Structure 1
Amino acid sequence: MTNPGRQDLVATLLAEARTPLGLLVLGWLALFGPTYYSLATTVWASDEQGHGPIIMAVSIWLLWRRRELLINLGSNVGRPVWGGVVFALGWLVYLIGRSQFIGFAEAGAQLLVLAGLVIFFKGFRGLNVIKFPLFFMLFMIPLPPDLVGAVTGPLKAAVSAVASQALYSLGYPVARSGVILSVGQYQLLVADACAGLNSMFTLEALGLLYMNIVNHVGFARNMALAVLIVPISFIANIVRVMVLVLVTYHFGDAAGQGFMHGFAGMVLFLVALVLILSVDKVLDIAFRRWEARS
């Protein structure tokens, strides 16, 4: 026997799939479904870029929050010509990225395709409505390996130097050789996931999401917080490396490379969030005093 409730659900889903929005979603999945699968089985499965699915989920949530604003724009505000041009450009970038195995181009094409669709149906006013979700989607795109390699090396060296010096100042027997930290009888290699460009990229996304949610009115305050997120990310990475070194020193290499390694990643985001909240509070006080004097 078949379940009537299940039949009703299937019928509802089939009916929704025949709507314009349903057809757009199906077309989107048909186009970018293989891309998402490739990302999920390659770069998103790594420690360095495991934030991709989270960014994607948050982007969908941000777009969903703005659906009413898009609907309220009406149906006669679209710019089919401009939308078609941007959409075609997105298709071209997608085909090049897919055929030439250029991951960031293939994944990045979805921004152009989405922008083209919105402009086609809702014009540039619609594009303005989704500008932050569209920008936030940049953080789910895998960075070019050459760029990551060029920037990550100096970042890891700087994080390692500051972390080792801080621990040495606290009395721990820490020595550094490049990005290898020696503490007691143990040696730790500061990996890309711990202090690389991707890590800072993820924390920058966290900071920008926080800015969007709190939605401060002042442009200067938003810019100040956005700029300060970069050193905040750097400090959070230093704290993460220090935590790993301390765990390894006190509890052994197995603890440092096991559960506590993942826990250190949670510490990274917790420290970054606390610093962002603290800096935002300081900026709030500073700008209030500045406004009171002016």
Structure 2
Amino acid sequence: MSLSNAGHKPGSDVAAGDASARRLHLAVLALGLLWLLFWYRDTFMAMVSIWDRSETFAHGFVIAPISAWLVWRRRHFIRNLPIEPSLLGAVFGLGAGFAWLLGELASVDAVSQFAFVGMVISFIWAVMGTAVVRTYAFPIGFLFFMVPFGEFMFPTMMDWTANFIIWAVRASGVPVYAEGYNLVIPSGRWEVVEGCSGVRYLMASVVVGSLYAYLNYRSTKKRLVFVAASIVVPVFANWLRAYGIVMLGHLTDNKLAAGADHLIYGWVFFGIIIMILFWIGSRWQEAEEEAPAAAAGTRGGAAAAGQATTGRLAGLVIAVAAVTLWNPVLAFLDRQGQHGPVQFGEFAAAGKWSQVDGGDKPAWTPRYQGMRGQQHVLFTNGETQVGVFLTYYRDQVAGEELINSENRILLNKDEEWRFTASGTQRQPIGSEAIQLRTNELRSNADASHRLAVWHWYWVNGRWTHSDYVGKAHLALSQLRGRGDDSAMVALYTPVNAERRGEAEAALADFLATMGPQIGAVLEHARVR
């Protein structure tokens, strides 16, 4: 008996069990992450597709490798950290999974993609434990930069850029005539487009600035200040860039800063600004953080050694289930509601308005695609003609949904029409009032040919002009089992530039009189 126990070291069984448990967690983590990529491959590949086609989000390809490198360079930190399943991580995984479900139901790719990354992070948390996630918080959180997010900022930042150019050029003594995003100065015409907004520079700056702050500072305050500077500086720099390009073209008779030149100048200018920002930031650089010491009881302690194998396995199973059950739920909800072809109801004359057979229709149509059905009809009250566009959506999938960035009243850099005014207003439709969007369009071929356009959404019986509210109605409708039927409604009428009030009055009268019929026609399509 004494000979058989002579070589036994106290705690060796515990240490061996601890190492075995760590290997189990790492194996579950690796296999689980691969499973998540496969199980939610449509969401992941949608991100990859955007990285591939958009220079604004091309940085997405390097985010995961950088995250892995950041973890690897601090791999020695994990040696003294306890590894055990986290119920809190599984709860967050359930929340992220539900957010993914809502994003899919509402066809909001950004929500689905953020939720997918959230599920990945929650899974790491649930499998490896809170101590590990806290230690590697930035490398893991850095994965959120994979999501191609920020297109909603284009209109606002285009407005800011256009307003700054107008102010700065006029302050330089050059007269400017502005109509929407179109600027005319004595030397030529300029247009503020999405590439002028600065969103591309902002995205690049935030990603690089966040990484720089993490690698060079230990203080949370310094990191936040530098990230804030990485957000603010490129916005102002883009304004100066845009103003400089316009003035450079003006002063050189458009020999410089024309064509692709302004893009090259823009990136050179942006690179110089970022280098200056990094140079200034280096003045407060701090030493790298050291690995934490082992906490009492974390290696070979009673808590780690005594944890039942069945309990540990149960925790890992819960972690996997929390982030994988949502695909079957989505498949079940997708089978609810109406499917198949769309059949519109008929309009009837009301008040002074009656339908016109034939008639002169404008060359303009809403720049929408992917609809299951559409209808274009004309009405007249004997003096004014009003057109109605209905684009109806059902069984919506990515690229064929009502509310997305590609579906617009007018495309950016449209060859036939351009915006001259836009806004929102509240108008009665039958017994209720709705908020709708208003636009004025001008033909590029004939400046006197203008249209007033009012448009809004119908989502399973609910009216809204908001993309966000429309998406929320769509998700709620599907959660209730009513399907995803929805439509865009657009009214238009010709505009006399000197008597714009007449066009608005005609549209308001038509909407108050015929609005309930529009709802009835759409409801007929929904229930058929």
Q: Do both share a fold (TM > 0.5)?
A: yes
Check if 1:46 corresponds to 2:64: no
Asked if 1:245 is matched to 2:253, the reply is no
Q: Aligned letter for 1:41?
A: S
**CA displacement, residues 84-103 of structure 1 (integer Å, 9 cap, x when unaligned):** 22222222222332343211
Q: 1-side partners of 2:232 and 2:60: how far apart?
A: 22
* Structure whose residues are more often strand by fraction: 2
**In the TM superposition, what whole-angstrom CA distance separates every residue of 1:171-191 from its partner, at most 9, and x where no partner exists?**
xx5736254444553322222
User: Once the 2 structures are TM-superposed, how far is the Cα of residue 211 of structure 1 from its aligned partner?
Assistant: 0.9
Paired with 1:105 and 1:36, the residues of 2 have a C-alpha distance of: 12
Is 1:28 aligned with 2:30?
no
Q: Distance in 1 between matches of 2:168 and 2:144?
A: 30
Instruction: Report Cα offsets for 1:59-87 as digits up to 9, x if no partner.
Output: 444344444434x255x532332222222
Measure the CA separation in 2 of the matches of 1:185 and 1:113: 54
Which string of whole-angstrom CA distances, capped at 9 and with x for unpartnered residues, describes residues 103-150 of structure 1?
1111101332122222223211111123213333333323365x4256
1:37 aligned partner, one-letter code: M
Matched residue, 2:274: 273
Given the superposition, is the C-alpha separation of residues 132 and 105 from structure 1 closer, same or farther in structure 2, using an over 3 Å criterion?
same
For 2:156, the equivalent position in structure 1 comes to 151
Unaligned runs of 5+ in 1: 1-17, 285-294
Of 107, 116, 122, which residue of structure 2 is paired with 1:110?
Answer: 116
Q: CA 1:281 to 1:119, structure 2 compared with 1: closer, same or farther past 3 Å?
A: closer
Contact preservation (8 Å) 1:43, 1:49? yes
Which residue of the partner structure matches residue 89 of structure 2?
83
In 1, Cα distance between equivalents of 2:29 and 2:248: 51
Unaligned runs of 5+ in 2: 1-25, 286-528
- Structure 2 CA distance for partners of 1:220 and 1:20, relative to 1, 3 Å: closer
Backbone CA RMSD of aligned residues: 3.6
Q: TM-score, normalised by structure 1?
A: 0.69
Counterpart residue type for residue 40 of structure 1: V
Greater helix content: 1
Match for residue 165 of structure 2 among 155, 160, 163? 160
> What is the aligned partner in structure 2 of residue 200 from structure 1?
202
What is aligned with 2:321? none
Once the two structures are superposed, the pairs formed by residues 178-257 of structure 1 within 5 Å of their partners are 179-182=181-184, 185-197=187-199, 199-215=201-217, 217-242=218-243, 244-245=245-246, 248-249=249-250, 250=252, 252=254, 256-257=258-259
CA contact (8 A) 1:139 1:202 kept: no
Q: Is the 8 A contact 2:93 2:119 kept in 1?
A: yes
Greater Cα radius of gyration, structure 1 or 2: 2
**C-alpha distance in 2 between matches for 1:64 and 1:176:** 56
| Structure 2 CA distance for partners of 1:68 and 1:228, relative to 1, 3 Å | same
Q: By how many angstroms is 1:153 displaced?
A: 4.2
State the one-letter code of the partner of 1:235. Answer: F
Mapped pair 1:129 → 2:138: no
Q: Which moved more, 1:130-139 or 1:275-284?
A: 275-284
TM-score w.r.t. length of structure 2: 0.42
